[in-house]
Each structure stands twice: as C-alpha cells, then as structure tokens.
C-alpha cells in the first residue's frame, strides 16, 4: 500500500497569487482531506489527470479587467468537477462564463456581516449575519447565466453565488482566514456536501503509509540524515528509523554555535530514547577558525554553509556507503510560485541549508515531508510519541548563534551570548510563554556602553532581547512581553553574565525588520 490510497479523494487548488492560498490548503488538510496547490496556468490535461473531487480557485492581487491578468483554462468549467472560486477566483468564474465584473466605487477591506439569501448546500448550518473577511476592489455587476445570489453584505450585493446544476460556487469573501467565523463550516460544506469527499487524510494512517512508502523507495540501501535538533529533521529521523531501522545513520554536527545544552539534548533524545544510530561530530574548532575576522552577515552565512557541507561530506564518507540523503523539506518550500507575482524576490538573507550537497555526494534525496505543512509534521511526531520538548521547539537558524553575534564571532563573545540566551529561555519558559512565542532569544551587539556597578565605572557589552509572535516566520510582531518578565531578564542578565552592563528590548516587527539581526 502507498500514500496513493490516501490521495484518492483530493482537492486541487489553483493559485492566482493570493497571500492566503496556503491557508486554504491548510484548512482543507485540517478537515482531513488531501489537497495540492498548483499554478493557475496548470494545463487542462494535467488538471484532468489530477482527478480531483473538487477544484478551488484562489484569490489573487490582479483584476480580471486588466490586460494579461492571470487566467485558468476555461474548459475547466465544462469538466463537471465541483468548483469553488474565492474572491478573484469568483471573478474569474463570472468573467469567463459571461457575467460582468466592474471596479467597485469603494474598495472593501476588512470585516463584513454576511446575510444569507437562499438555501445553498454551501451554507448548511452556517449562521445568518456571521462575520466574514473581505479584501477586494472589483465586484460583480451581472451574473453569468444559470447563476443566482445566495448571500450578500452591506457593500457586496453578490457576496456569494452558485450554479448548483453546474456545481460551481463563488465567494467574494475569504473563508480560509480566521476572521471569517464560519469559514471552516463553509469549506467543510464544499468538501463533504458538494464534492462528496471523505475524511481519509489522518495522521494515524499517514504514519503507516509513509513508513511503507519509505521502505519501498529505500529497500536495503543506507540513508544518512543531518540532524539539526529542529522539528523537521527530528521527526524525519524518527519516521525513517521506524521504516528502515539501523540502515539510517544520523549525523549531528556541533558547529560550536549552538544554544547551551543543545548537543546533550539531541544525544539523549535520539541515541538513548529512540535508539537511532547517531554520530555527534565536534567540528566547533573548524567553524570558528573559518569565521575568524569575518563581520559581514552574508560572509558569515556563506562560511558556515560551506564548512557544514565540507564536514558533512567527510563524515558521511567515513560512516559508510550511502544511497540516500534524508531531508525535512516541507510543502511550502516545494510549491511552485506563480510567475506573475513579480519575478524572483531579492535575496534578503541566504538561508543556510544543505543545498549542493546531494549533487556533490551523488546522493538521492529522501524527503518524506515534501507534501506536508509544519503543523502536520508536528502532528506526525506526536502520533509517533515524540516528546513535546522536541515537537514544540522554537525554530533555530542553521548558522546558529553566529548571526546573533553582531561583529566577529570569537569564543568569549559566544560564551557571553550563550549565557544570556540561556537565561532568556529559562525565564520565558518559567513565565509559561515559550509556546506562545515564535522565537525568543538574545543578540549580542557590537558596541560597549558606560555603566556603573558598585560605585565603579563599567564599559561593557549590550544584550538585546528579541521575542516575536508569528505563524510562519514570513511576517512577525514583536511580542508584548510583560514588564515583570523584561525586568527579571534584565536583572538576571546584568548580574549573572560578566561583561554585560545593559539590556535593551527590540520592538521592531517584520517587515520592516527581520527576526534575526543578521
């Protein structure tokens, strides 16, 4: 049996470039139905071959009234597969099927009350007057033949439309965002009442299916996995170990840029609890040596990335003959981006990963999570009995503490940062806030300031506290930590970490700031 049996009942999401497209996919997966996101330009043949139970047309930033606005193959509407158009998706339905879309006199953005007008399967058990989230400029002024209005809002007389005979539905608002209170109910109605899907995307069955998939793919070959201690590689290692046992070898490379106690934690979890073959390599000297004299953030990142590849290759060769390299790549990294989003985005930071390694070592990739979102990987880990301490970890960047030490990375400055960082972690956990924060950590600034301690002048380093909330790391808000906690952090860091006489709190959001300082 392969995961194909779990994919029998799937939904196709055609992406027109909305910032919410991934939310649609995540919501559908939460309803235990498998779905995939593809560019709106997917060919009709591929759409047919996909064999979806239903198709969702996402929103998007364009206007169907503009020349060259993104379109899908219009024959899509003749296939008889149920279709739900959301915002721009609904305007596409109208535009292609002979209705009219006009620019609206006022852009409608934010909350609105949805008034139900006619019975529709889409709104079964949906409360009247519920709050929905609007974000659109254009609006529909004439419906295509065969369509009727099923709901409206103060500013949108045609907030929801349907042609039940053709199984085509449209929503002007976004059911996939939390501000639409009945959004999940509406999506469930589309999935179960209209498309006839069943709930077979379940983590329990997924574990078994993935294990047999890995066995089929790998056979008796050997797999090497770079453990970072983060959620994705940790869950990947446990899953692959369940599938192939001792043919999996994990490598944990200590680059000397880790949080305090990290190496010991990984060793005890994987070697002692899960009995996984694990080699811990202390390469800290090498990493620090190569970082000597470097202060430029990008040069630091490159140096660490290159050293990692060098060490990994050398150690993997020493360990044996591997056919596969396991990686915890997630679905958001895989989804093809649609071309009209405005071309390749500028490199803000070159993220450290093992890019180039598979080609260099001639390894095949084993990426069991290529179809999964992070919350699904966490659920999978929980299903396999992995401890909360690993599943709910805050992310930690590949280049480690090096990008939190502004200026040159030398061992005294590393020790100082590690000590401050440990205090932040302890106190955030003690305040019960660890799981509410996307990340919380210390940054060591490259300046010294004057202070006074015990009647004497000091001239010492500054630590910045960074704590943010976020759902995906793409945008973030600075966390409104309680003053009592900030006070405690400042006191403890200044008293306990020698060489620090000042603590500041970073109150920048992303954008315009980024989460890490380098």
The residue ranges that bind ligand XMP (CB under 6 A) are 349, 351-352, 395, 397-399, 439, 473, 510, 514-516
CB closer to ligand XMP out of 170 and 398 = 398
Look-up of token digits 């169907």: 64
CB closer to ligand XMP out of 54 and 398 = 398
CB closer to ligand XMP out of 8 and 436 = 436
CB closer to ligand XMP out of 173 and 287 = 287
Which of 108, 162, 176, 376 does the annotation list as catalytic?
176
Q: Where are the alpha helices (DSSP H) in 294-407?
A: 297-319, 331-334, 357-361, 374-383, 388-391
Tokens of 85: 């158009």
Among 306, 303, 313, 305, which residue's Cα sits nearest to residue 251? 313
DSSP-derived pairing of the beta strands 324-326 and 277-282: unpaired
- Measured CA distances, 227 to 254, 422, 494 (Å): 10, 22, 34
Task: Name the minimum Å distance from CB 37 to ligand XMP.
Answer: 21
Which of 95, 174, 209, 241 does the annotation list as catalytic?
174
Please say whether the beta carbons of 41 and 70 come within 8 A: yes
Tokens of 341: 């989003």
Q: Give CA–CA dist 501/193, Å, rounded.
A: 63
Exposed/middle/buried for residue 500 (C-beta within 10 Å: 0-12, 13-18, 19+): buried
Q: How much of the chain is in helix, strand and coil states, percent to nearest 5?
A: 40, 25, 40
Task: Name the minimum Å distance from CB 327 to ligand XMP.
Answer: 12
Please say whether the beta carbons of 166 and 76 come within 8 A: no
Which of 31, 40, 72, 87 does the annotation list as catalytic?
87
Task: Name the minimum Å distance from CB 445 to ligand XMP.
Answer: 16
Among 62, 409, 399, 54, which residue's Cα sits nearest to residue 198? 54
Give pairs for 266-270: CB < 8 Å, separation 24+. 266/227, 266/229, 269/234, 269/387, 269/390, 270/227, 270/234, 270/237
Task: Name the minimum Å distance from CB 399 to ligand XMP.
Answer: 5
Task: Name the minimum Å distance from CB 351 to ligand XMP.
Answer: 4
Task: Name the minimum Å distance from CB 518 to ligand XMP.
Answer: 8
**Three-class SS string for 438-461?**
CEEEEEEEEEEEEEEECCEEEEEE
Q: How far apart are the first and last CA of the chain?
A: 46
CB closer to ligand XMP out of 368 and 399 = 399
Residue 95 designated active-site: no
Residue 209 designated active-site: no
Residue 36 designated active-site: no
CB closer to ligand XMP out of 95 and 466 = 466
CB closer to ligand XMP out of 77 and 373 = 373
Task: Name the minimum Å distance from CB 471 to ligand XMP.
Answer: 11
Please say whether the beta carbons of 384 and 393 come within 8 A: no
- Cis previous bond, 511, omega within 30: yes
Look-up of token digits 């930690």: 396
Task: Name the minimum Å distance from CB 495 to ligand XMP.
Answer: 28
Rg (CA), the chain: 26
CB closer to ligand XMP out of 90 and 251 = 251
- Active-site positions? 87, 174, 176
């Amino acid at each position: 049996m392969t995961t194909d049996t779990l994919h029998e009942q799937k939904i196709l999401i055609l992406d027109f470039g909305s910032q919410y497209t991934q939310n649609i996919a995540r919501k559908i997966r939460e309803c235990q139905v498998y779905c995939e996101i593809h560019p709106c330009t997917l060919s009709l043949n591929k759409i047919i071959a996909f064999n979806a139970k239903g198709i969702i047309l996402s929103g998007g930033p364009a206007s169907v009234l503009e020349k060259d606005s993104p379109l899908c193959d219009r024959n899509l509407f003749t296939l008889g597969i149920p279709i739900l158009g959301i915002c721009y998706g609904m305007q596409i339905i109208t535009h292609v099927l002979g209705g009219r879309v006009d620019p609206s006199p006022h852009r409608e953005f934010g909350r609105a009350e949805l008034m139900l007008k006619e019975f529709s399967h889409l709104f079964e058990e949906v409360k009247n007057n519920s709050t929905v989230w609007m974000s659109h400029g254009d609006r529909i002024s004439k419906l295509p033949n065969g369509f009727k209005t099923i709901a409206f809002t103060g500013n949108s007389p045609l907030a929801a439309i349907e042609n039940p005979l053709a199984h085509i539905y449209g929503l002007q608002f976004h059911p996939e965002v939390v501000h639409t209170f009945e959004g999940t109910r509406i999506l469930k109605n589309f999935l179960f009442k209209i498309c006839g899907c069943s709930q077979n995307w379940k983590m329990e069955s997924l574990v078994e299916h993935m294990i047999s998939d890995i066995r089929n793919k790998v056979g008796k070959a050997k797999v090497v996995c770079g453990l970072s201690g983060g959620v994705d590689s940790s869950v990947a290692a446990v899953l692959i170990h369940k599938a192939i046992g001792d043919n999996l070898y994990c490598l944990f490379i200590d680059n000397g840029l880790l949080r305090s106690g990290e190496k010991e934690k990984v060793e005890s979890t994987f070697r002692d609890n899960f009995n996984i073959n694990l080699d811990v390599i202390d390469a800290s000297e090498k990493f620090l040596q190569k970082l000597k004299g470097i202060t430029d953030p990008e040069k630091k990142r490159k140096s660490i990335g290159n050293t990692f590849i060098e060490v990994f290759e050398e150690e993997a060769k020493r360990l044996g003959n591997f056919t596969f390299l396991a990686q915890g790549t997630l679905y958001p990294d895989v989804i093809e981006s649609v071309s009209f989003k405005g071309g390749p985005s500028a490199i803000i930071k070159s993220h450290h990963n093992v890019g180039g390694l598979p080609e260099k070592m001639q390894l095949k990739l084993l990426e069991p999570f290529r179809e999964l979102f992070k919350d699904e990987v966490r659920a999978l880990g929980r299903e396999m009995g992995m401890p909360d301490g690993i599943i709910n970890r805050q992310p930690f960047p590949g280049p480690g503490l090096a990008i939190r030490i502004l200026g040159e990375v030398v061992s005294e400055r590393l020790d100082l940062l590690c000590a401050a960082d440990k205090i932040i972690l302890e106190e955030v956990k003690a305040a019960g806030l660890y799981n509410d924060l996307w990340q919380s950590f210390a940054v060591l600034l490259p300046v010294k300031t004057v202070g006074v301690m015990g009647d004497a002048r000091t001239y010492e380093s500054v630590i910045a506290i960074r704590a943010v909330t976020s759902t995906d790391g793409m945008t973030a808000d600075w966390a409104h930590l309680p003053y009592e906690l900030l006070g405690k952090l400042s006191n403890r860091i200044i008293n306990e970490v020698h060489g620090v006489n000042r603590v500041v709190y970073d109150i920048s959001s992303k954008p315009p700031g980024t989460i890490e300082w380098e």
